[in-house]
Amino acid sequence: MGQELKRKTTVIGHRNPDTDSICSAICYANLKGKLTGGEYVPARAGHVNRETQFVLNYFGVDKPKLVEDVRTQIKDIEIRKTRGVADNISLKKAWNIMQENNVATIPAVREDGILEGLITVGDITKTYMNIYDSSILSKAHTQYTNIIETLEADLLVGDEEAYFDQGKVLIAAANPDLMEFYIEPHDLVILGNRYESQLCAIEMGADCIVVCEGAGVSMTIKKIAQDRGCTVIATTYDTYTAARLINQSMPISYFMTREHLITFNSDDYTDEIRDVMASKRHRDFPILDKEGRYLGMISRRNLLGARGKQIILVDHNEKSQAVAGIESAEIMEIIDHHRLGTVQTMAPVFFRNQPLGCTATIVYQMYRESKVEIEPKIAGLLCSAIVSDTLLFRSPTCTPVDELAARELAGLAGLDIETYAMEMFGAGSNLKDKADEEIFYQDFKRFVVGKAQIGVGQITSLNGGELEALREKMLAYMERTQQRNGLDMVFFMLTNILTESTELICQGQGAIQLAAKAFHLDIEEAAQQEEPVLKLPGVVSRKKQLIPELVLAEQD
């Protein structure tokens, strides 16, 4: 049977997530779960910055799981939950399991779940077709319990847990005088109801006698067998049938494949395993978890109906900002407040995009529209996101709707919004111990301006001295990072929240000229500056003030 999967939906923001991206994902996943009863899991596409970590710690919320690729994985699809078996079961039992479950391969699994090997229909078929010598049963270390089960027999003398691991198998068809010449110690002898034959086999040192056709075994024979350590088994089958069936009692461990197994991990991506599966003749492949424990089997058929992960995007709608693998995912919804981008969907989706300062404001509206109570923790996260994205209502992207929402949410969360905002911004702008790369990518996004690929990073701070110190570090770092990112131009905004101004560092051919043109500055004077830095008073928003002006300047 296939594994029944309850599909979950991942709610995720953009790469290099900010406070709005993280908090909106958490809060919207919470709302969707309450409205539908389904499983909605918040996630993040990058590392949590210090400001966001302060917010999560303040409200006692764990950071969402890191998801760096949303391509379909094996764990997202239905796999065949073929039951693992012990490696000492008989070939006959393995065959019966295959027939009952309509499978061609069964895994041998230890009690702790570790995969030991595979036995296939082909392996069992070979045991019928190959000619083995008469000692094959002992070479395979066959347990008496397997022989009893295979022959549908009764144990009259001996220990069923013991093993037949010496000697050969033979049929005692001759009279007792001749039997003495070919029965050797430790043999297993298949015979009929003749007392003399049974006695002879025991006296010649046989380890086991199999009495066929339901013949009775006398108390004397049982006593002698007990004294000599000879196992006595009685079956209703005739000697021919017993001889034909007995090889089926051998354990699968002797015939199964143990080495060079082709296995997959539950985290493997389906598009990466297709080629491997196509190049092999196997029908089924084992799936293991991270600890190597067996989970189930997968075949090419399982991949035919594989569907993409269900994803809800928040705080972005551009492919360049989305988590890797988004093109193979099933996008269910988009909740955003940015310009329309390049994310394409296979089918119509719920898309809510409003010209507000923050995605969290939209999420807040959806809570109110759905009449779902906003608990203090959720209110705190939403409020924090709005305060962050609007720079405490100083950003030109901020609308009266954003401010009203933030102040109501602050009341629900029990916050003094101005005091809390200063603590939050202070935690986020503590940059002393950060590496240049961490600072640069803390809030970094890619854009297409005309034919140019550009990247824009931003740091906001209450501390002018801190921003001044950062300028030299970022100038040096940006020279190294531009080509590595495959970008034509790179800009970095050093934004002072208190003075509501930005110093814009420009890197790349034509970058400072484009920025000077965008903000109506002297282009020649800007190009001749010792440092490629422009002072932009009143500019604090990347989305509403910087990017639109760069686009217009490029088109002009």
Q: Is the CB of residue 490 less than 8 Å from the CB of residue 500? A: no
Final residue belonging to a domain, choices 304, 325, 341: 304
For the record, the structure tokens of 7 come out as: 């599909």
For residue 459, being part of any structural domain is answered with: yes
In sequence order, the 6+-apart residues with CB closer than 8 A to the CB of 512 are 506, 526, 527, 529, 532, 534
d(CA 43, CA 143): 52
Report the CATH number at residue 274: 3.10.580.10
Q: 365 and 229, same structural domain?
A: no
The C-alpha atoms of residue 485 and residue 479 are separated, in whole angstroms, by 11
Last residue of a domain, one of 400, 427, 454: 427
List, for the chain, all residue ranges whose pLDDT scores fall below the cut of 70: 1-5, 131, 173-177, 430, 432, 483
pLDDT at 2: 41
For residue 393, give the 3-state DSSP assignment.
Answer: coil
Given 213, 234, 249, which residue is the final one in a domain? 249
Q: Are residues 298 and 319 in the same domain?
A: no
**Main-chain phi, psi angles of 143, to 5 degrees:** -80, 145
Got the DSSP string for 86-106? -TTSBHHHHHHHHHHHT-SEE
Helix (H, G, I), strand (E, B) or coil at 191: strand
Question: What residues make up the domain containing 545?
Answer: 436-555
CA dist 526 to 401, 488, 492, 512, 556, Å? 38, 19, 16, 7, 19
Same domain, 93 and 29: no
Give the model's pLDDT for residue 537: 95
Task: Count CB neighbours of 405 within 10 A.
Answer: 24
155-196 residue pLDDT tens: 999 999 999 999 999 988 666 667 777 889 999 999 988 888
Whether 16 maps to a domain, the answer reads yes
Cα dihedral 406/411/414/418 (nearest 10): 50
The DSSP symbol for 329 reads S
State the Cα–Cα distance between residues 295 and 337, nearest whole angstrom: 42
- Same domain flag for 371 and 475: no
Q: Is residue 134 part of a domain?
A: no
DSSP state of 398: -
pLDDT of residue 484: 75
For CA atoms 352, 357, 359, 360, give the dihedral sign. negative
CATH of residue 446's domain is 3.10.310.20
| Residue 81, Cβ density class (10 Å: 0-12 exposed, 13-18 middle, ≥19 buried) | middle
Do both 279 and 239 map to the same domain?
no
Alpha-carbon distance of 513 to 505, in angstroms, equals 12
Pairing of strands 285-288, 294-298: antiparallel
Interval 109-158: pLDDT, tens: 999 999 999 999 988 888 877 767 889 999 999 999 999 999 999 999 99
**pLDDT for the residue numbered 180:** 77
Is position 135 within any domain?
no
Question: Does 145 lie in the same domain as 237?
Answer: yes
> What are the residues facing 9 on neighbouring strands?
40, 310
**For residue 1, is it within any domain?**
no
Q: What is the pLDDT of residue 97?
A: 93
Other C-beta atoms lying within 10 Å of the C-beta of residue 425: 22
Q: Domain check: are 240 and 338 in the same one?
A: no
Tally the domains of the chain. Answer: 4
Q: Are residues 239 and 314 in the same domain?
A: no
- 60 with 96, same domain: the answer is no
Assess contact for 336 and 353: CB atoms under 8 A. Answer: yes
* DSSP reduced 3-state for 235: coil
Q: Which two tokens stand for residue 461?
A: 């701070």
One domain for residues 352 and 280: no
Helices (DSSP H) in 270-352: which residue ranges? Answer: 270-278, 300-304
Is 41:67 a contact under the CB 8 Å cutoff?
no
CB 360 within 8 A of CB 385: yes
Q: In the prediction, which pLDDT does 175 show?
A: 67
Q: What's the confidence (pLDDT) of residue 3?
A: 43
**Same domain for 104 and 47?**
no
Specify the CATH number for the domain of residue 422: 3.90.1640.10
Is 2 within a domain?
A: no
Q: Is 169 in contact with 187 (CB distance < 8 Å)?
A: yes
C-beta of residue 294 within 8 angstroms of C-beta of residue 114? yes
Q: Is residue 133 part of a domain?
A: no
Residues 243 and 259 in one domain: no
In a domain, 4, yes or no: no
Integer Cα distance of 295 and 114 in angstroms: 10
